[in-house]
Amino acid sequence: MIIELLTAAAAEEAAPENKFGFWEAMEQGGPVAWFILAVMVIMSVGSFYILITKLLEQRKIMNQYKGVRQSFWRAGSLKEGAAKLEKNSAWRQLADDALKASEDHGKMTDSREAHDYLHGSLQSSEDSINAKLAGGLPFLASVGATAPFIGLLGTVIGIYRALINIGIAGSASIDKVAGPVGEALIMTAIGLFVAVPAVLAFNWLQSRNRRIAELMNGFSTDLLAYMGSNGAIKPAVGAAPAAKAAARPAAAAPARKA
């Protein structure tokens, strides 16, 4: 037993120290390597922050659209329907802008068509909402486009340092080039790890924004049809949840025999 313990201790003492780990490579890279790593970390944190915040914002707007379909078009007028919508929501903004445009057009003295004025007002409102939803996406696009090149900069610097060590030592021994080359490969990998999630997040959020834009465009078209027909045209909506619950027992009750 004692012999085995002594053998294990001797093996541990004889084991070479690892001088080529991640932190060792970063220390050999110096301030430039640490600066590039800090830039990568900031870009990665910013990308995930934008992804989470924009995803929550999009989900909120899509959930609010269910309220538009359930309560807005059952109201007796646009004002009553707008009052039922959540304040500071995209759908409330479109409804309020439509009402304001209708009131402003009645004050005009020229012969401009009401449809064109209302359509332009709603389009401007949609554009402002879409611009807000697109906020932060240029950062994701920039990260996806530049992160690999920032990592490549670290790679070039690491290889350059390896060549300098070879020139100073006069031989390409592994202990002279392992540190700088390892740093170069680490920078390349970090650049890819930062860029790939940013590109995927950008494309996903863009597709969801397009879906929201389609819903808003349809809602604006319904508003124009409603106002242009004085309330005669509005989208069909299903029965209210309370009416469905009341109708279900009646439909399920068996018919009595005479």
Q: Per the structure block, which two tokens stand in for 4?
A: 């085995």
Half-sphere exposure of 205 (CA within 13 A, CB side): 29
State which amino acid sits at residue 151. Answer: G
Instruction: Say how far apart CA 86 and CA 96 lie, in whole Å.
Output: 12
State which amino acid sits at residue 66. Answer: K
Task: Report pTM.
Answer: 0.74
Chain CA centroid to CA 38, Å: 23
Q: Is 200 exposed, middle or buried (0-12, 13-18, 19+ CB in 10 A)?
A: middle
pLDDT tens per residue across span 48-99: 999 999 999 999 999 988 878 778 888 888 888 888 888 888 898 898 888 8
Chain CA centroid to CA 116, Å: 34
Three-class DSSP category at 109: coil
The closest alpha carbon to 150, from 161, 142, 138, belongs to 142
Q: Which residue has the higher pLDDT, 157 or 212?
A: 212
R_g of the chain computed on alpha carbons:
32
Residue with tokens 């990308």: 47
Lowest mean pLDDT, pick from 19-28, 157-166, 234-243, 247-256: 247-256
Q: Where are the domains of the chain?
A: 26-144+204-228
What pLDDT is stored for residue 78 in this prediction? 82
Q: Are 157 and 33 in contact (CB under 8 A)?
A: yes
Greatest mean pLDDT among 9-13, 39-43, 88-92 lies in 39-43
Helix 90-107 and helix 174-228, axial crossing angle in degrees, nearest 10: 40
Q: What is the mean pLDDT of the chain?
A: 78
What pLDDT is stored for residue 130 in this prediction? 92
Q: Per the structure block, which two tokens stand in for 192?
A: 């890819």
- Confidence band (pLDDT; 50, 70, 90) for 196? very high
SS3 of the chain: helix, strand, coil, percent, to 5 = 80, 0, 20
Lowest mean pLDDT, pick from 27-36, 97-106, 149-158, 187-196: 27-36
Q: Are 208 and 58 in contact (CB under 8 A)?
A: yes
What pLDDT is stored for residue 52 in this prediction? 96
What pLDDT is stored for residue 112 in this prediction? 59
Lowest mean pLDDT, pick from 38-52, 145-159, 173-187: 173-187
Half-sphere exposure of 214 (CA within 13 A, CB side): 6
- Confidence band (pLDDT; 50, 70, 90) for 42? very high
What pLDDT is stored for residue 44 in this prediction? 93
Q: Are 132 and 43 in contact (CB under 8 A)?
A: no
Q: Are 188 and 154 in contact (CB under 8 A)?
A: yes
The answer to whether residue 20 scores a pLDDT higher than 60 is no
pLDDT tens per residue across span 198-256: 999 999 999 999 999 999 998 988 888 888 777 777 777 655 554 454 445 544 445 44
Q: Are 165 and 177 in contact (CB under 8 A)?
A: yes
